[in-house]
Amino acid sequence: MHRKGYTLAEILITLGIIGIIAAITIQLITNAYQRIVYPNQLKAVYSRLTNAQKSINDEFGPPEDWSYSSHTRPDEGNANNLSILERYATELGAIAWTKKRGNYNYHYYGISNAPKKLNGKPATNRIKDWIGGLYEGNYGYQMLLKNGTSLAIIFSDEPGGATFWQFIAKGYYAAFIVDINGLGKPNMLGRDIFVFALTKSYSSIVPYSTDTSDCNKNEDGLSCSKKIIDDGWKMTY
């Protein structure tokens, strides 16, 4: 008698093909999900952040009236920054936040300590001089919001002598790094990590960069917050 059937090799090849197709399908579904959900989540966070800024302006005055460190009395400057930071935490409904800078503990509050640029390369301190430095635990303050979003704030003038001249040159008082899903992947600029800034001219929060030319798969992705807003809160890149 002759029995018809499949050999072990044929079965393994078939399973391998199914596995490859499944992996591709899952990735396509994940990408589609991110393109739809992430911009909506970012819009909600941005709305809360701008509303918080209006409240802070009412309490502390516009940013141009804020008292920053003179670098000769760093404790006074730091106390003011921390008062403003605490107000952000209150207005945004943070469930955890820190007054402590450094010590490589940003991932504890949901900010990845190994972010990537949109082109997939590691975001080191070479990316615009400061964003990688934040993730290396050097500069900012961070908080975790109820919806799982993590937010880091870097003031243009820091106690102890640090001044972010690229902020000053742009007329910014602070930068905000928003990771809308915390430690969840991909931890990538332009995908789940977006950057905003507090302006001197309008006392409001705007996308950090207005030049969206770097919001593509071959570049950094630092300006993707601007592109998403320009495209009607859609991820078209």
Residue 22, SS3 per DSSP:
helix
Please state, rounded to an integer, the average pLDDT across all residues of the chain: 80
> For 25-34, 173-182, 193-202, which range has the lowest pLDDT when averaged over its residues?
25-34
Q: Give CA–CA dist 113/107, Å, rounded.
A: 6
pLDDT in tens, 34-65: 888 999 999 999 999 999 999 999 988 888 77
Residue 99's pLDDT is: 65
DSSP string for 47-60: HHHHHHHHHHHHHH
Q: How confident is the model at residue 185 (pLDDT cuts 50, 70, 90)?
A: confident
Q: What is the CA radius of gyration of the chain?
A: 22
Higher pLDDT, 59 or 97: 59
pLDDT category of residue 165 using cuts at 50, 70 and 90: confident
pLDDT digits (tens, 9 = 90+) for 188-216: 999 999 999 999 877 889 999 989 999 99
Give residue 169's pLDDT: 85
Q: Is the pLDDT of residue 234 over 90?
A: yes
Give residue 54's pLDDT.
93
